[in-house]
Structure 1
Amino acid sequence: MADTILVTLIIFSCIFGVVYIFLTTRNKERLALIENGADAKLFNSGKKYSFGQFILNLALLAIGVGVGVLIGALLNNLGVEEGIAFSSSIFIFGGIGLMSSFFMNRKLEKEEK
């Protein structure tokens, strides 16, 4: 009981520490840029992803994992070891889902331009 509480506390404190260090460092960099006369909008030049693209990525990943579970069950029935059948097919079809979402997002970006 105490072990699970300690592990949970350590995990959340590590996540908090990483986020805190990231935000603090980003703030210091921006303040240094402002002091030197540079524009702080330099950090905002990256590409913005829309909510629809995120949902598309998540949906195709979930579809890929679902298909991977089905294929894993079929492979298990054919005699492949259970751990190998499920884990390999989940990762393979999840990756295929993410790759297809990449190509679909790229196609959507070309259509917008």
Structure 2
Amino acid sequence: MAETILVTLIIFSSIFGVIYIFLTTRNKERLALIENGADAKLFNSGKKYSFGQFILNIALLAIGIGVGVLVGTMFYSGGMEESVAYTSCIFIFGGIGLMASFFMNRKLEKEDK
């Protein structure tokens, strides 16, 4: 019981630490650039995703995971080991869903231009 709590605490504190270090370092870097006379437009040069693209990515990932679970169930009932069947199918079909999402987003970007 104590090991579970300790492992969970370590995982969440590590994630928090990495995010905190990333954000503070980025902030210090931006402040240093501004002090040296850099233009503020420099920080907004990245690609922005719309809410629709985010929803498309999540939806296709969820569909891929659902299909992966169904195919994993069929493989498990066909005699494959349970952990191998479910894990491999979830990752394979989740990846296929993300790849389909990438190509659909790229097609939508070309249509917008």
Q: Is this a same-fold pair by TM over 0.5?
A: yes
Q: Percent identity?
A: 82
Which aligned pairs between 1:10-49 and structure 2 lie closer than 5 A? 10-49=10-49
- Unaligned stretches of 5+ in structure 2? none
What is the aligned partner in structure 2 of residue 61 from structure 1?
A: 61
SS of residue matched to 1:12: helix
* CA distance, structure 2, for counterparts of residue 66 and residue 16 of structure 1: 30
Residue 92 (1) aligns with residue 84 (2): no
Stretch moving more, 72-81 or 62-71: 72-81
Query: Quick check: 2-11 or 35-44, which moved more?
Result: 2-11
How many angstroms does 1:47 deviate by? 0.5
- How far apart, in 2, do the equivalents of 1:29 and 1:9 lie? 30
Secondary structure of the 1:48 match is coil
**Which amino acid in the other structure matches residue 112 of structure 1?**
D
Deviation track 1:1-42 (CA, whole Å, cap 9, x = no partner) reads 433333333222222211211111111111111121111321
How many residue pairs match? The answer is 113
SS of aligned partner of 1:96: helix
Unaligned runs of 5+ in 1: none
Cα root mean square deviation, aligned: 1.4
The reply to whether residue 71 of structure 1 matches residue 81 of structure 2 is: no
TM-score (norm 2): 0.90
1:46 counterpart SS class: coil
1:110 Cα offset (Å): 0.8
Supply the distance in 1 between the matched residues of 2:108 and 2:6 (Cα, whole angstroms): 46
Q: Which amino acid aligns with 2:86?
A: F
81 and 4 in structure 1: CA distance in 2 versus 1, 3 angstrom threshold = closer
Equivalent position amino acid for 1:56 in 2? L
Distance 2:80 2:32 in 1: 58
